[in-house]
Amino acid sequence: MHGPVDFLASSAAVCDAVLRMRGPALVEELGRIAREVTGSPHGRYVPRDMTPATGLPGWETGLSQLIQFDSQYFGRFEVSGRDAYSDASRQHLASLASLAASVLQVHSVAQRTTHAYVQVEARLQHQSQILDQIHESVLTMDLNGFITSWNKGAERLFGYSAVEAIGRNIIFLYDDEDETFDDAFLEQGGRLMEVRRKKKNGEVFWASLSLSPLCDMEDRSIGLIAYLTDITERKQAEERIHHLAYYDALTGMPNRSLLTKLVDQALTVALRSHGHGCVMFIDLNRFKLINDTLGRTVGDALLREVSQRFRLALRDQDVVARLSGDEFAVGLFDIHQHYEASMVANKLLDALNEPFLIDGHDLRVSASIGISVYPQDGNDAETLLRLADIAMYRAKQNASTDGEHIAFYSQDMNKGMQERMRIESGLRQALGNGQLLLHYQPKYEISSGKIIGAEALVRWKHPERGLVPPAEFIPLAEATGLVVQVGEWVLEAACAQAQAWKEKGLPPIRLAVNVSAREFTSALPGRVMETLQRYGLEPSWLELEITESTLMHNIERVIGIMDRLTAEGIALSLDDFGTGYSSLSYLKRFPIDTLKIDRSFTTGIPVDTNDCAIASTIISIAQQLKHKVIAEGVETAEQLAFLKDSGCDEVQGYLFSRPLPSLEFERALLQNWAPPEPIAASA
Ligand code: C2E
Ligand code: MG
Ligand code: MG
């Protein structure tokens, strides 16, 4: 009665139950099918992990069938209640168990897989959420650079949506068309780098890019993960800092640091290729004058214009830098002959020929250029600059004698420079160590033969070199500015001496102090008056000797300072008169007491007719302008006679006296003023 059709129906029922049912319902249904297939009144399905509390009724004759697939066990069928079970029934139950086992097996696999799938799905979802949350843009690509994923950060950064980006090659984001995917990514994979990328709107930006390999389960590389951050702001800040560090704010030109760097680089190349180059040190002449007279704004504008002209005069590969103030430097990195360097230097000088029109002023500046050549002069930028500076200094000196504004560095310049520096530092110490002293050279009135004053002349009592004359250190002190301190010391020492003489009751005289152009500032009158007061001296004790060249700088300002001095009763005399180029029209306006005929003219008297003519002209000018006139450097009686005849008022020179130490001067003064000897008086 239990045919194959029934068995088939039962098989289908097993499949159906396993697929659709769970728990007790499944247990119940499988038991029912087992009963049905074997025609048993009792029967059940006992799942793997269940132990039934009671046995089935009539179990003695019942059947049990394990449900098993491979080694996997799913429980058993139990049926009972029939007196006996035929082989066919056993067979059916076994077949049913086998079918149930394989269906349960397949189902459990499927169920587990589904579960795992759901978990993976959830994790992926999770991860992409995290990726989208982070600000950074993260994208992945395959080994050929085709984008495989694209997070929200990437959308924000580049402006392309994931749909637009995924599947395209990463190269479409590059700014530089020459950059290839292989170079940039595969070789540098895992590295951090800074790159330029392009947004959808065409904007190019700087990004920091970090790449790490993307691997499959077997750890085989299948692509790259890229993390990108926009660093444009930082890059711009860096560039600004770089610009500040390497460029001059006023002119926008490279500064000393950048020049040094570039020259050093060029030197390395030159050493390998046996090339030559040179460094030029350029200093503008008389720039300070313009700056002081017309003000900083004009000075700055002039510097900007000058740098523009230099730039235009040079080739692109040459570097021009502003070092400081009115100092510029040029690096020529590939020259073959010295003359090329001087050609370029001349071009630079020519560039200054045209006047500069600034703020309504028609300005002219020239420059002095020193050149050092590498590799022969030096092997590093600092040395080359230093040597070019020395050469420039020489060029400046030469310019006044031979008009040549360009000088190449040479060894003996260096010696001169070292000497110069030695003197400078020695003089600084001399100021602090009381090594300076004053000598006094009497000035005589020709008509009376009386000493009416003295010129205070500074000397340096050098510990090794003995008494150093001012000619050996004053010009240097003027170049370095140290002359201001020297001048302060001299005024102080001269006033102290005058006070001592005054207190001793010596006849009152005028002490003349030399004032250099550098000292001749608007602070001078105040300083002089304050010093006189401190020593209890009337202004008539003091006279200031100013050189003609002092007057040529900013005449209005100079006259203002002179007026303030003379208003206080301080006498002014014009030293070295005739050597400069003061125009007579100006001379009229200077509130001067005395003109001092320079020694170079006195020397030629009476032999040199030219000198004689000059001396007598100066005397007549002085007379017309109602100035007194004194001749310095009078060594002979003939000179004195000529000067006396020409109407000169006073004389100073070796004929009467050399500059004397204070005690000797004191003696000379007392003698000169002593009443005539009784014999002479009675004669
Ligand atoms: P100076 O102001 O024209 O001074 C006159 C110079 O001529 C002095 O040289 C003096 O000794 C020298 N002299 C005077 N009579 C004769 C003479 O008959 N024959 C010869 N051959 N020379 C004579 P000294 O003392 O060597 O000073 C040289 C220059 O140094 C001065 O020229 C002056 O320009 C500068 N100097 C001296 N002392 C000072 C100072 O305290 N401050 C400043 N700024 N400059 C000073
Ligand atoms: Mg003098
Ligand atoms: Mg003089």
Q: What is the pLDDT of residues 522-576, one digit of tens each?
A: 999 999 999 999 999 999 999 999 987 777 767 888 899 999 999 999 999 999 8
pLDDT, tens digit (0-9, with 9 covering 90-100), for 179-215: 666 545 555 455 678 888 999 999 999 988 888 888 8
In ligand 1, the atom with minimum distance to the C-alpha of 515 is: 44
DSSP-assigned letters across all residues of 245-288: HHB-TTT-SB-HHHHHHHHHHHHHHHHHHT-EEEEEEEEEETHH
User: So what's the architecture of 134-236 in CATH?
Assistant: 2-Layer Sandwich (3.30)
Written as six digits, the tokens of 357 are 């029109």
Residue-level pLDDT at 121: 82
**Sign of the dihedral defined by the CA atoms of residues 611, 613, 616, 621, in that order:** negative
Residue 379 has pLDDT above 80, yes or no: yes
Query: Atom 21, ligand 1: which residue's CA is nearest?
Result: 633
Residue-level pLDDT at 177: 65
Fold type of domain 429-670:
TIM Barrel (3.20.20)
Fold type of domain 247-409:
Alpha-Beta Plaits (3.30.70)
CB of 543 shorter than 6 A to ligand 1: no
CB of 598 shorter than 6 A to ligand 1: no
CB 333 within 8 A of CB 236: no
Residue 449 has pLDDT above 70, yes or no: yes
| Stretch (H or E) spanning 6 | helix 4-20
Distance between CA atoms of 210 and 193, rounded to whole angstroms?
A: 6
Query: Atom 35, ligand 1: which residue's CA is nearest?
Result: 470
CB 669 within 8 A of CB 506: yes
pTM above 0.75, yes or no: no
**Where in the sequence of the chain do the CATH 3.20.20.450 domains occur?**
429-670
pLDDT, tens digit (0-9, with 9 covering 90-100), for 138-187: 999 888 889 998 999 999 999 999 999 999 998 889 887 666 665 455 55
CB of 442 shorter than 6 A to ligand 1: no
pLDDT, tens digit (0-9, with 9 covering 90-100), for 26-83: 999 999 999 999 999 999 999 988 888 888 998 888 999 999 988 889 999 999 999 8
Q: Which residue has the higher pLDDT, 254 or 556?
A: 254
In ligand 1, the atom with minimum distance to the C-alpha of 490 is: 41
Ligand index nearest the alpha carbon of residue 639: 1
Backbone angles phi, psi at 137, to 5 degrees: -95, 130
CB of 578 shorter than 6 A to ligand 1: no
Residue-level pLDDT at 683: 36
Residue-level pLDDT at 587: 80
CB of 632 shorter than 6 A to ligand 1: yes
Residue-level pLDDT at 335: 81
Residue keyed to tokens 């002085």:
622
Burial class (CB in 10 A: 0-12, 13-18, 19+), 260: buried
Q: What is the mean pLDDT of residues 417-426?
A: 75
Distance between CA atoms of 568 and 562, rounded to whole angstroms?
A: 10
Residue-level pLDDT at 677: 54
**Residue from 455, 457, 636 whose mutation best tests the ligand 1 pocket (most atoms within 8 A of CB):** 457
Judging by DSSP bridges, how do beta strands 356-358 and 319-324 pair with one another?
A: unpaired
Residue-level pLDDT at 403: 67
Residue-level pLDDT at 320: 95
**Where in the sequence of the chain do the CATH 3.30.450.20 domains occur?**
134-236
CB of 469 shorter than 6 A to ligand 1: yes
Q: Give the mean pLDDT of the chain.
A: 88
Distance between CA atoms of 41 and 493, rounded to whole angstroms?
A: 143
Backbone angles phi, psi at 239, to 5 degrees: -65, -40
CB of 550 shorter than 6 A to ligand 1: no
3-state secondary structure 565-599: HHHCCCEEEEEEECCCCCCHHHHCCCCCCEEEECH
Query: Atom 22, ligand 1: which residue's CA is nearest?
Result: 633
pLDDT, tens digit (0-9, with 9 covering 90-100), for 102-111: 999 888 888 8
Nearest to 155, CA basis, from 145, 147, 165:
165
In ligand 1, the atom with minimum distance to the C-alpha of 635 is: 18
